[in-house]
Structure formats: structure tokens, C-alpha cells
Structure 1
């Protein structure tokens, strides 16, 4: 796989991981009585859009309710008195917006996403020297300002390939069920792409069913790449025919309730990559996934070109899975050794099943509160752990591990049925009169019905022989993303928490 394709897989994996905490809905524990949360409508949009002079370009982006309360009377506005939209961009607001480009979105539930589209069609005579211009976007909930950003429109006379994937409707599937997914790919550019690749990623609990000889699994991050050695002309469109569809299947033990994100991405491929791929999969079994032309255009000689706008090469849709039970139990441990030794304990949770736990989201975030035993000094801490006692009581002021007495450790991926999820802590055993036991308390989330086994002891066990029974320190968990996933999610959670704090209004008594 070329570096560009691998980078694409990695970028989408990181985006999906971050969206688990930032975009899919974290009902944090109830707020204090004197706090009222203000709904926050975030804008997730491309930074730049490249447009061919004289041609119309549809630009899509998403609005998200990033709070855990309903946002009523959401308004999206394009431009402002201070930042008017340049007339030569040929801007057209979505249908239903008023003359001032203010658009009534309606109400958005906690975690709800709403896709929005607008078009631009710059004049054909602009010329290469025309500077880039921006379109300002802002959201408000009632009269309360929320988010703002801008999209820079870059104009070109040269043009190129511009692949787009049409929106895909969300699905609702029961455990073990599957459904076909309609896919439509367009080339809105003015140059042909010689060959097409279709990437499908479902990083959590939904499995793409792509048992075709021209589809290959990228095992590192769980995506599939299907290769079509057919040109897609400028202005043309392809879809997947009914006899060779893309199907998605919910695993029988998938955690729920959850909205599992699925990405479908179109990319242009070089002829060399197609040749290598075909040679590599020449003996693969199964039928061939085919494309069906939706519209036709006269094709010139194949000319490979970079895509003008990679941000609209993908569509994301969700597969909603109903509630399942995942009984979680705390896993305790001990720092075992002599006075003065540095020993390691692994503690956390085990999933007793019968299903996996839901992935982290704003609707459910599992964590462990670890109260350290007395008579130890913390030396090393798992990257998924933060000083504090709960999600709403994280002490960001502590920088010295010696001062830590309590930790909040985040469960940043789904835990499979009968699986364990452990955190590694390393501490020096001190010479004190008493080593009072600590504890590991699990917040099992919405699937955990039995709370009696959610607490276990974390102790110090002194030995006389000096050969303690500590466990080796393990790295970050594999499975969600290769490398850095846990740190990304922990950092994303802190960033979300800080942003959320700024939008909480304290009600005077």
C-alpha cells in the first residue's frame, strides 16, 4: 500500500477515534444544582475548498450539538456585516435561508449531527492572480452565539480531478443483522481519473461485508480497499450495482446502544498501484465488485491528477445498534515487594458479557476511579489516567506524581465479551507504619446492571525475599488505533471538558 493510502487510513482512524468523544453525543454525570449548561453547536468543516473558475462546486459540512442538552432554535449564518461574502464567488445559500443568509436549522438533540450544503460558482474570467477569499460561518442557539469558523475558497483555472461521495442515510440494525449500503461517487472536476479506489472503514463494532476478489483488508486499522481499474470521466458518476453491493453487518455481540460510524471514501489511484494490487490479488476467490455508470461523458486519455478537494471524498453514516448487556467487574491488584522497591500493578475491569461494551462516546464513557493505597509513591502512570476522582473532578493542577492519591483512568475502546481492560501503575513501596488498602471502582456505563462487583481492593503486599510479584508495564492498548490512540482520546476529553466548562453558567442563589 502506498504511503498516501496508509496516511489516509491513519487519518480517518484518528478522526473516528476523536469523534468518539468529541462528536457522537458524553452525557457526563449530573451537574451541580447551581450550574446550567448552554447548548453548543460546533461547526465541522473543511478549512479550504478549491473551485474551478466557471464551474459550480457543492461544499458540505456538519453541525454537531456537542453538549448534553437539547439546542432549540439553532441558526446558521453565512457571512456577516463585518465579513461579507464576495459577490464574485457566486455563493448560493442552502434552500430556506433568508436574504441575509441566516438559516433556521431547528432543534438538535444532544450529540445530533446535521449535514449542510452550499454552492459556489466563481466567474470564469477571474484569472490565476485572483486571491483566495473566505466565507464566514457562525452558529447561534436562539440569541446566544455558539461557534464560528471560515472556509477559504481557492480558485483555479487549471482544474483537476475532484471526487465526491454522496451522502449515505443512517441505518438502524439489530444484533446479527445486515443491510446493503447505496454508494454513489462523482467526479465534479474537469479531468478524468484513471482508476478508482473505494475505502470502507468501520473501526468499532460494525463489519463491512466485502468478500470480493478486488477488495483487500488493511488489517492495521480495520479498513477495506476495493480497486476498480476503470476511468471516471469529468462530470461522470459511478454507483455499486445491486448484484455486487456493499453490505454492513452488526456483530451478534456488539455493544449497544450505540451509533457506530462507518466511512466510505473515494480516492484516485495511479496505474502502477492498480497493477501491483491486481498482481497481488490475482488468485483471490469470490466475485468481483463492479461499478455501474450513472451518467456518461467523453473520456480523454487517462491523466492522473491530485484531487482538488479531499475533504469531500468521504461520506460518514451511522449504524444504530440497540441496547445490550455487558456486566463489568472491577479488577484489583497489589504492589508486591520489599520496602524501597519499585513495583507495578495492573488494575481495571473485566467484561463478563454477554456482549461487548459500547465504544467511548458522549453518551457513555467508562472509567475507573483508582484510590491508591497509603505508603507508596507513584513513579509511573498509564497514559490513559489523570489525577482526580471522577470525570467532573479532574485535578489538572497536579504535576508531581508524588502528590497523586487518586486517579481517573479512561476506557478508550470497546471491551469485548470476556475481555479485560487494565491500567499499569508503577510505585515505590515506602517504609511506613501502615500500608492502608486503596480501591478500584468501575463506572460500568449504561450496560452494567450489577453494581455489586464494581469495586475491588488495591493493596501493598510486603515480601521478605525481595522478589516481588509485580507485573511488567504494558503499553497503550492495541485495537482502536495503532499508536497514540489512548493519548489522543485522553487529550480530547480534557479539551472537551475545558470547552464545556467555559459554556457553563453559574446561577446565582
Structure 2
């Protein structure tokens, strides 16, 4: 699918900051817009500075929310935790255990990635004790009207400190195998009773192993839970066996990392899966467990533990992809017909004929740029939200989704899977019947922009026709749209929890319009 060029949605351990909704729809949320809330469960270490958390908002259509106010009710933990503004909101405390924060600016929402409000700092007081737990009740008001609520959990745990092992440089060819070390060190002063490795792997990194203590989505590894205790000052290690998909682009690079976290922190984070509507992960069906070497002690019952320094929890793998494996992007046109005054839909886009998948997710860039020229005698009354008017002076990127132009430049999604198709709808009003009126769609259009694809294997099929009222005598014609399977299972393995800011995989809230795969 196509996407807005300014999307930058990883911000620390939160997610996306400035997501600008681009649509032909009105700027303010329509009354029918369905707004959903999510606030991650939080485990705090006693005697710690606390954690910064933000409310996530989602909508079923692009929208901009004015006059947003969020009310946080933590009276169930009165005297044991405090909440305070940790961003740019205007917050007041009308009563003990209640914080009300008004957003300084409007909040733009995208129906795929959503947006977050200004964060709040949740901190324990000197009265907080291990095992304390309570509810955080959140309510949302938009322009003075109640628009949603959510209940999250806050609990007090024991502070520990995990660190990831050294980074690795590896190499493999498309379809080839490689081994990746996985090492974790307890750099704190207390034993860590169980650890979880949560993986953020590029789409091409696959595994055939199915350990019983790991979670998978098809042939992608999501997380592994280790019940070994790691004493203070000691490290544990294991080895992962990976394989690059045969559709990996080459030469190139693939990246992956693992974040180590306590059981409690993973439980807080993983609770997002179902709320995000992500495709379910399955526990490995194999009889063997993946274990950490030199760890004879096993997990014992204890208070929840939380990591007090998440900045050093990562280990990463940089894989050089050898060999040569390119791809062919083919333009898809359409042929439509109608009488004067009718509005017709031309579905256009491109197909990735393979053999390689294009993956620009980590750079957050469009895999290709498409130029669309509107047929004579017609007016574009509705265009995909990722398309902007194009002229001889360039592209007006500030007018995404603006109708009425004669030519457009469109952005694609950050991944194009081999064998799949991305298309979008142009709604054309026939002002005057012009037999065999022709427009065009060009994939791999030249653009002085980041991203894009310049090494197409078959440039001859980069252009296709958009024909309105084709001449029945045989002139003109276009390529009919090709349907493909959903690319919901794409992107980078961390995306099951993408709104938690760990990666970008399994987008459940897919676009319902615009360019979609």
C-alpha cells in the first residue's frame, strides 16, 4: 500500500510521534469515526524514578482530533504511585489520585498506525511495596465529548538490570543458512529470575526450528522465554539457526535484533497483541526447548521484576546478503467506461513479479514512486491518500489526496512482497465522452527522493494505460488489475507489537482504501 512520506513512528520505547493523516476527508474526525484506546500495563521498580508511558489512540479512518483531554484515575493506588505530565500537555490534579491532561495540539490519527498523546510519568512513592497492584482508569474527551475509555494495570516489582551481548556481523546468500549468537548478561545487583528475548527481525529472516518455549508466526520467530535464573554479574548464551528467504534481495543487507526483558515487562508489552488485532502467535510444537548454557538454576516463585535500564538490553545482527537476486515491478492499468456525468473507478498500481521482495521498512521509505496521468475528458474527484498533485515544477507533497489535478505522484508502502500486487482507486468523473481516452501509470518513476527502485529487471513493463471508453474497434486498452494475497503477514518481526515501538510486523489495522496490497 502507499504511505505518507513523513511517517516516523518509532520514538524510544513508545511509538510514532508525528503521523499526519492525509486524506480527501474533512480534517476533523467524522461523527462515525470509531476511536479505540490502549495504554500498556506498567510494572514499576520500588524506589525507582518511574516510567514514561503514553496513551495510544486508533481510529477506523484518518482523522484529526481537536481539543483532546485525557483523564487518568489511579485512586486504587493512592499514596503508592504518582502521575505527572512528562511531555507538553497541560495537566491538573483536580483531586488526589486523578490527573487530567489537555493536549496542546490537535492529535492526527491514521487508521493503521494511530497516534499517541503526550506521555505521563508514573512513579512509585516511598510507600510502594513489592506486590502492590491497582488499576489505572483512563477516559478520553474530544471537543468536550466522551470518546472512549480504557483500564490498565500498574504494579510494583523488583528492579533488575539486563544487558545484551556483543553485536555480530554475519553473511548468507538468498535461501542460505546462518547461525546467530544470543547472549544476555545480568549487570545488576540482584539475580534475574527468568528472561525473555523479544525479536525484531527483517522479513527475510526465517527459522525452521520450533522450540516449545518460543513463539512463532508461520516461519518467523517472535520471542523465546527462558526460565533459567541468571545470578548478578553473570551471562548466559545460546545459538539461533536462521535462514534467509529465497526472495531476499541481493546484494544487500538484512538486520535483526533481540531485546531482553523480564517476564513481567514482557507480560506488560505482550498484552498489546490482542488489542492491536495482530495475527496470533503460536508456541513451538517441537519437543525440544531452547536453553541458555551454564544456567543450572531454575525459576522460583518471586515478586514481579522489571528492568530499570532498558537502554542496554539489545543485541543485534548485521547480515550481508551475497549473490544477485533482483526483481521486476510491473505497472497495472485499467479500462473503464461510462456516460457523460458518470463517476467511474480506475484501479491501478503495480505487481512485484519477483523473484525478490523489496523491503525498505527500516529506512521508512517508499519502495517505488508511481506517476499517474489522468485521461482526457475526465476529472479525478477522489484519489488515494498517498498521491499528491504533480506538475512540471515537481510534486506538491503538502496536498496528499487532493482531487482535481491532471497528474499525480504516489508513494508505495515500505515493503513489496514478491508475487503480490498493490493497487489504489482513482475515482474519475467523465466530463466529456472521448472515445479511447488514455491516461498512464508509471511505476519506478524518477524522483529526487529517498527510497524508490532503480534496478528493475524489465523496465519495458513499467508503464500501463488507463483507458476510458475504449474504442471497440480495437484501439487502446489497458492491463486489468491483478489480484494478490494480503500482505498482512509482512514487515519486520517486531510488528506483532508494533504500537509498542519494538518493530513493524503484522499490521492488523490495514487500510481499507487507498493503495493496498
- Shorter-chain TM range is 0.5 to 0.7
**Shift, 1:290, TM fit:** 0.5
1:262-288 residue CA offsets vs partner (Å, 9 max, x unmatched): 1212121149969x99xx989932321
Cα deviation, 1:120-148, whole Å, max 9, x if unaligned, reads: xxxxxxxx9xxxxxxxxxxxxxxxxxxxx
Residue 187 of structure 1 is matched in structure 2 by 186
Deviation per CA, 1:382-408: give whole Å up to 9, x if none.
Answer: 233333369x93213547723322222
Contact 2:264 2:306 in 1 (8 A): no
Which one of 447, 453, 457 corresponds to residue 445 of structure 1? 453
Within the candidate set 263, 266, 282, 2:257 is matched to: 263
CA contact (8 A) 2:214 2:284 kept: no
Aligned to 1:426: 427
Q: How does 1:110-129 map to 2 (within 5 A)?
A: none
Distance 1:414 1:283 in 2: 27
Q: Does the 8 Å CA contact 1:387/1:398 hold for their aligned counterparts?
A: yes
User: Could you say if the C-alpha distance between residues 423 and 12 of structure 1 is closer, same or farther in structure 2, counting changes exceeding 3 Å?
Assistant: farther
Q: Distance in 2 between matches of 1:333 and 1:217?
A: 39
Q: Any stretches of 5+ residues in structure 2 without a counterpart? A: 1-9, 19-43, 48-125, 127-156, 272-280, 445-451, 473-479, 492-504
User: Any idea what SS the aligned residue of 1:428 has?
Assistant: strand
The within-5 A match list for 1:487-498 is: none
Pick the aligned partner of 2:223 from 212, 222, 225. Answer: 225
1:253 paired residue among 230, 240, 247: 247
Contact conserved, 2:193 with 2:300, CA < 8 A, in 1?
A: no
Q: What CA distance in whole angstroms lies between the structure 1 residues aligned with 2:227 and 2:168?
A: 27
Partner of 2:315: 315
For residue 11 of structure 1, report the CA deviation from its aligned partner: 8.8
Residue aligned with 1:257, SS = strand
Is residue 237 from structure 1 mapped to residue 245 from structure 2 by the alignment? Answer: no
Could you state the TM-score of these two structures normalised by the residue count of structure 1?
A: 0.53
**Matched-pair contact (CA < 8 Å) for 1:476–1:483:** no
Residues 387 and 401 of structure 2 are in contact (CA less than 8 Å); yes or no, is this contact kept in structure 1? no
d(CA) in 1 for partners of 2:364 and 2:215? 33
**Residue 198 (structure 1) aligns with:** 197
CA distance in 2, matches of 1:374, 1:449: 31
d(CA) in 1 for partners of 2:337 and 2:508? Answer: 30
Q: CA RMSD in A?
A: 4.8
Task: Give the 3 Å change call, closer, same or farther, for CA 420–201 of structure 1 in structure 2.
Answer: same
1:373 pairs with one of 369, 372, 375: 375
- Post-superposition offset of 1:293: 3.3
| 1:461 and 2:465 aligned | no
Aligned length: 330
**Partner residue, 2:405:** 404
Match of 1:104 in 2: none
* Pair 1:335–1:161, CA change in 2 (3 A): farther
The match for 2:90 is none
Other-structure match for 1:178: 177
Contact 2:383/2:403 (<8 A) preserved: no
Deviation, 1:260, is 1.7
Measured against aligned partners, the alpha-carbon deviations of 1:225-283 in whole angstroms (never above 9, x if no partner) come to 1111222233332111xxxx212211122123332221212121149969x99xx9899
TM-score for the superposition, normalised by structure 2: 0.53
Summarize the Cα distance change of 1:449–1:456 in structure 2 as closer, same or farther, 3 Å threshold. Answer: same
Residues 149-160 of structure 1: pairs in structure 2 closer than 5 A: 160=159
**Is the contact between residue 335 and residue 427 of structure 1 (CA under 8 Å) also seen in structure 2?**
no
- Call closer, same or farther: CA 1:293–1:428 in 2, change over 3 Å: farther
Q: Offset of 1:182 from its aligned partner?
A: 1.0
Aligned residue number for residue 169 of structure 1 = 168
Question: Is the contact between residue 336 and residue 462 of structure 1 (CA under 8 Å) also seen in structure 2?
Answer: yes
CA contact (8 A) 2:387 2:410 kept: yes
Decide whether the 8 Å contact of 1:235 with 1:297 is kept in 2: no
Cα distance in 2 between the residues matched to 1:413 and 1:204: 12
Q: Distance in 2 between matches of 1:257 and 1:189?
A: 41
Paired with 1:13 and 1:334, the residues of 2 have a C-alpha distance of: 47
Shift of residue 457 of structure 1?
Answer: 0.7
List per-residue Cα deviations over 1:433-474 (Å, max 9, x = no partner): 67742111111824413211111111223899xxxxx99999
The structure where strand makes up a greater share of residues is: 2
- Name the SS of the counterpart of 1:231 in structure 2: strand
What's the offset of the Cα at 1:308?
1.1
